[in-house]
Every structure is written in C-alpha cells, then in structure tokens.
Amino acid sequence: MRIRDIMSKAEVVLLPDVSLLEAASMLYKAGLDGAAVVDEDRRIIGIVTKANFLKAMAEQRLLESPVGSIMKTGVHTLQAMLPIITLRCDPDIFSYGFYPVLDDKRQLCGYITRPILMQYLSDSMFQLVEELKAVLDSTYNGVIAINAAGKVIWYNAAAERLMQLPAAKVVGQLVDEVVPNTALLRVIQTGEAEVNQQQRIYDKVIITNRTPIIKDGKCIGAVGVFQDITELQSVADELEHIKNLKSTLESVLESEFSRIVVVDRSGRISRMNQAYLEFLGYESPSQVIGKHVTEIIENTRMHIVAQTGKAEIMDVQKIGNRNCVVTRTPIMKDGEIVGAVGTVDFKDVKELKSLARKVSKLQSELEYYKEELIKAHGGKYTFDSIIGDSEKMKWLKTTAMRAAKGNSTVLILGESGTGKELFAHALHNASSRRNGPFIKVNCAAIPENLLESELFGYDEGAFTGAKRGGKPGKFELANGGTIFLDEIGDMAFPMQAKLLRVLQEKEIERVGGTKTIKIDVRVIAATNRDIEAMIEQNNFRQDLYYRLNIISLQIPALREHKEDIPLLSMMLLRKIALHTPHDVEGVAKEAEEYLVNYAWPGNVRELENVLERAINLMDDERYILPEHLPPVIKRSYQNPAVDSGAPPIPAARSSGRSELGSIKKDAEREALWRALIRSGGNKTRAAKLLGIQRSAFYEKLKQHGITGKEPELYQ
C-alpha cells in the first residue's frame, strides 16, 4: 500500500498573503488541523497548523495578519507513490502531526495526518508479525528466543515437537527451568555466537546455533536455532560404513593378484584394475576407459554377457599367446542388467592344471583322513556311491534299500571285487542306525586264535600279555550300530558256534570274563564262497547260515552287467585322478569296446586296476586308447569291423620289434585304422574319435605308414 492510498485530497490550499481569519475559517469549514502554504506554482513553501494559530493568538497578532507571517517552513513532506511500509525505517516519522503529500512533479496533491499514518503502520506491523510467526512455525528447525532476563519470548512449533513441550508451558518461563542445556544464558553473558554445537536433549542428538540479539549496541536477548540430527547421525554412520566398504572394495579391485574389468550395458569399459592393465600391456586406465571392450581385449565376450545376462564361468579365452581361464558375470540392479564384470582367474591353463593337482593332492589327503575318521565312527558309502544303471543293479539297490529299513541280519554274496563292502556301508547309512558306529571285521585276515578276543574282547589277565583293564571287542564297539563281518565263510567251525550264540542271545562274554554284556548290534555278513556247498562239506554250520541268511543280497559279477562298464569307468577315473598326475577325460569308444568285451574275472576291482595301469602308460593323451590296455584284454577282443563284414585291417610290416612293443604298436595301428573306417576317411573326425590332437593323429599315421587313402577304407 502507498501513501496516495490513505491520503486526503488537498481541498484547502493557502497562499501566503491570506489573512489569519480567512485561513482559520477555511480550515474550520474543511475540518482540517492544518494546510499547506504554496506559491503561485503550487509548490509548498510552508504549512500552518492549529499550533501556529494558537501561538499567534498568544502573541496577540491581528486577525488581518497574513498566513505567511506564522507559517512554518522546512516542511516534512511525503511522496504520493511511497510505500507505507518504508516509513517504519524513518526515525522521525512520528515527530510531526501533519504531512503534505507531493506528486511526481513535486506539487501538492494531498494531506495525511499522524493518527491515520500510525493506524496503517500498526496494522502493517501486526500483519508482518503474523507472517513472521507463520514462517517460524513452518520451519523444520526449532527456534527458542529469550529476553535479557532469560525468559522465553518465542518458541515455535518445531521446538514444541522436538522438546515435547507445548508453547503454553514454556513462553514466559525462565529458559533453564523448562528446556535443558540450551546455553542461551551463556550467550547473553558473553555476547558471542556459538555455531554448530552438538548436544543431547533427552534421547535426541541436536545440533544448534546460538546467537545474541543486539540492539543499539546492547545484548537484549538470545535466539537458538536447533535441529534433530538423530536420523542424520545414523545416515552419517551408514555413509562412513559405505565409505569404508568402498575403500575395501577398491583395495580388492586393485589387488595385484586379481585381473578385473568392468563394462557398462553397451560393452564400454568403465573400470579396469592395474593388474589387468599390466597384463594387457597398458600403463594408465585413461588408455582403456570409455572404449569398447572388443577394442582392448581380444576374443572377449564381455559385451555379450552384458547384453544377455548369462554368466560364463571358468571359460577358456585366448589372449595373446596364452589360453587364459576367465569368468564373466552380469551386474544386476533392480532386476535389470547394467553391465558385466570379468576376471582372469588363471593367466594360463597350465596354472589351472597345477592348481588342480594341488587340490587333488589335498583332496586325496582329506579323503584319507575322512576315511580314517569314518572307520572309527561309521560307514563311508551310501547307495548313491554304488554305480550302475542296469536292470540287475537297479533291482539290487531297490531290494537293499528296503532291507536297510529293518534290523534283520543281511548276508551279502558275490565274487571278490564286486563291491560287497559298498553295499554293507550303504545298508548302514540308510538305516536308523546311521548315527551309530560301523565296525568292520575281516574274518579271513585275523588268525583263528585271536578272532574270539577280537570279536568279543577280553578281561584283564585273560591270557599272557593281556592289556591291563582288558579290551572291548568289536561287538561292544558296534553297540547301537552295525558290525560288518567280511569273509564270513573263512571263519573257523568252533568260532561259528560262538557267533551263533551271540546272534541268538544278543549278548557276549569277554574272553576270560564271567559277566554277560547285552548288545544291540545289527550284523551284516559277506562272503565270496559258496556257503551251501560248504554246508554239504561240513565246513559251515547250517544253523548259522539260516541265522545269517534272513535277507540275502547276491551281487552280480561285472560280466553279468557289462552295460554299466562305461559309467563305472568314469567313476573310477575320477577316483584314480586324485592320486595320479595325469589329466584324463575318459575312455575312447574303441577302448571301451575292448572293456565291454572282456570277461572280468576280477570284477570291478580288476577294472580299476586296468584303468590305473592305462593312465600310467599314457603320455599327453586325453582319452584312454586300446594301445594303453593290457594284452590280456586285447587278446580276448573280437573286432566288430570284421564281424560285420567291414574291410579287414592291413597287417603292419614286420620290423623285428620285441613282443611287448609289437603288441603296443599293433594296437595303436588297429585303433587308427578303425577310427578312419568309422569316420569314412575324415582325419579330423577320426582324431576326435580317438580324443587326440589332429597334429598328433597325423604323426601317428605317418609312423604306421597309413595315408588315409587306402582303398580298404571305402569298401
């Protein structure tokens, strides 16, 4: 609002030569307390007010005297367009009771009196105070103001919320009596501001700025502005944690042993650590950052992983003259692919092989200690350990799993090397006694005179050399679990009677002892002998046989389920690899035919020995070939190519070799020839069939004088 909005129009204007009487009459009729005196150009030269007339009367001036004789000069005028609010800054604004108002041409256009001016200024001030209060109550920060006496004169809504005290109980009270730890009284005493001060009020962490209120050079109070930073402190702690984590991740990223690259969704490099830079021959990240990964790393698939989101673990990638082992993993954010990270796990495949050997050695040692531990505490194998997908093996495992659920005695029959002990372990581990001990006893390996004390234990003094305090037997040690009596057919006849009593009575007596000991043991027995024939020959007790033969499992010989030989071979190769330095991936198809054709009198144990022998005779081949197999297996082999009417393999030229060398060379030549026949003369495919490099295949063809163009191949 401006002055013109509240002024009265200048209806009365006096000239300096107007008489006092005439001027007083004009003012009276207009109801004015004064008027401006102007010249001929309507410019103010003075004013007259009631006070001027009273003074003239006191001085007994004549009524005919001109107004100019009593007017007051040096008039305080106001501009019509001046905002009223600006008058608050004029210290002399209320020193006058009457103000002429001038237009932009400095000509008189109206009047304004002090009462009217005071009214509008006070209304304006009240409105300003209300606006200020609304602003302070709307601010997030708490505000407390006190006067010089320490009493609270202002306390906004945020302060109410933070202090949990209503303004009605705070305003007008001594600040220290209602709000703790404000330190505002100290600010009044020192007159110095205290900025960014952290303190606790109740359960909150507060940061506050305390400032003295100065007027006319004196401190008339203090104001405190404070904010609850409890949440901010928590955020700060979390940021500090993130900062430490970032530092740790950067340290990991810059590890000299890790080669790491990060790309964005488009395949452009966003990060590459120093180890990777040096590996690629770069000095600074600036040489690679922002470039497409295909420009920097040869044969890379990082950009593909960043698009597809499919990780590629332990992949072989040629970088320079090295076959590196790398891993590529997509980076996901909110379910979307934002990039990929790649690592060089091994600079060369040779490193991986070296590590594999070390791991194999450690694993072998671990298996040994595990085996020793299991020997003392339980069974080592489960039904998953028994390899075989043939109908016979499936039926046998199903029957054995059913038998495992009970506590009846089980008799396992089968030739040596068929895996009877595996079934004994599996029966124990599938039973309710799995957490109990599994004790093995080889009845054929323990002398007859020691077997009784070994099975049933002995008391102190039972015989010369008996251990002090006695010794528990295998049955006692197996209490609550399973005892496996292997080679039960080799047990002496007198011992069979004692075993029968234990099975019937469920109790034992130690050698030299007088006390019976109750036992809870499941018995699993095994033998490779014909028990029924032994009974006819009076070498085995019939009643013991019936007691043992409650559940009988007949393990088939390997020749009876030859279809399991490929699967068994792969399992045995993994086992053998733990303690041999060779990396063998499997058995070539040609060699597999030899294995399937053989009768295997030694069963699975013989198969394991043959495979281990073959591995030790190999050079750098990845697959076992016929040439690596022993002569006894090759001699029993019938060539399927001949049987099917395929062209016969030409005989090698005699070179006067030794018999062993001749057999090896003939087997190798035979394998080469049959591979060419199967591939139709395609040498690359023939090399793959044998599992060897093409260059090695060509070299062997040259050694045996085979060109691959022989007409016999295409008959």
DSSP type of residue 285: G
- High-pLDDT (> 90) share of the chain, %: 28
pTM of the model: 0.42
Q: Is the pLDDT of residue 645 over 60?
A: no
What is the tens place of the pLDDT at every residue in 422-432? 999 999 999 99
Whether the pLDDT of residue 643 is over 60: the answer is no
395-454 pLDDT, tens digit per residue, is 999 999 999 999 999 999 999 999 999 999 999 999 998 888 999 999 999 888 889 888
Higher confidence at residue 128 or residue 686? 686
Q: Is the pLDDT of residue 231 over 50?
A: yes
Task: Encode pLDDT of 481-522 as tens digits.
Answer: 999 999 999 999 999 999 999 999 999 998 888 788 999 999
3-state secondary structure of 204: strand
Q: What per-residue confidence (pLDDT) applies to 524?
A: 95
Distance (Å, rounded) from C-alpha 464 to C-alpha 446? 19
Q: What is the pLDDT of residue 375?
A: 53
What b/e readout covers 310-330, taking b as 16+ CB neighbours within 10 angstroms? Answer: eebeeeebebeebebbbebbb
Contact 475, 508 (CB under 8 A): yes
Distance CA 72, CA 52 (A): 8
99: which strand partners?
Answer: 112
Residue 266 parent element (H or E): none
Cα-Cα-Cα-Cα dihedral sign, residues 248, 249, 250, 256: positive
Q: Tokens 């930073």 map to which residue?
A: 229
Q: What are phi and psi of 80, to 5 degrees?
A: -60, -35
pLDDT of residue 646: 46
| Terminal C-alpha separation, the chain | 118
The fourth-level CATH superfamily of domain 257-347 is PAS domain (3.30.450.20)
Starting from the edge strand earliest in sequence, which strands make up the sheet with 438-442, in order?
438-442, 482-486, 522-527, 410-413, 551-554
Nearest of 183, 246, 190 to residue 214 by alpha carbon:
190
H and E: helices and strands count for the chain: 26, 28
Query: Could you read off the pLDDT of 248-293 as tens digits, one per residue?
Result: 666 666 665 678 899 999 999 998 888 888 888 898 889 999 999 9
Over residues 603-638, the pLDDT tens digits come to 999 999 999 998 888 877 888 988 888 888 877 765
User: In terms of CATH architecture, what is 378-556?
Assistant: 3-Layer(aba) Sandwich (3.40)
d(CA 303, CA 323): 20
pLDDT value at 651 more than 60:
no
Q: What are the two backbone dihedrals, phi and then psi, of residue 60, each rounded to the nearest 5 degrees? A: 60, 45
Same CATH fold assignment for domains 3-121 and 139-232: no
Is 98 within 8 Å of 30 (Cβ atoms)?
A: no
3-121 belongs to which CATH class? Answer: alpha beta
The answer for residues whose C-beta is within 8 angstroms of residue 280's C-beta and 6 or more apart is: 288, 296, 297, 319
The domain defined by 560-714 folds into Helicase, Ruva Protein; domain 3 (1.10.8)
Domain ranges of the chain: 3-121, 139-232, 257-347, 378-556, 560-714
* Measured distance CA(224)–CA(206) in Å, rounded: 12
The class (CATH top level) of 139-232 is alpha beta
Neighbouring CB atoms inside 10 A of 277's CB total: 18
The pLDDT confidence band at residue 320, using thresholds 50, 70 and 90, is confident
- SS3 label, residue 195: strand
CA pair distance 55, 127, nearest whole angstrom: 40
pLDDT of 657 > 50? The answer is no
Chain position carrying tokens 């703790």: 180
Over residues 452-486, the pLDDT tens digits come to 888 998 887 667 666 776 888 899 999 999 999 99
The pair of three-digit structure tokens given for residue 194, joined into one six-digit string: 């205290």
pLDDT at 644 over 70: no
Q: Which helix (H) or strand (E) holds 272?
A: strand 269-272
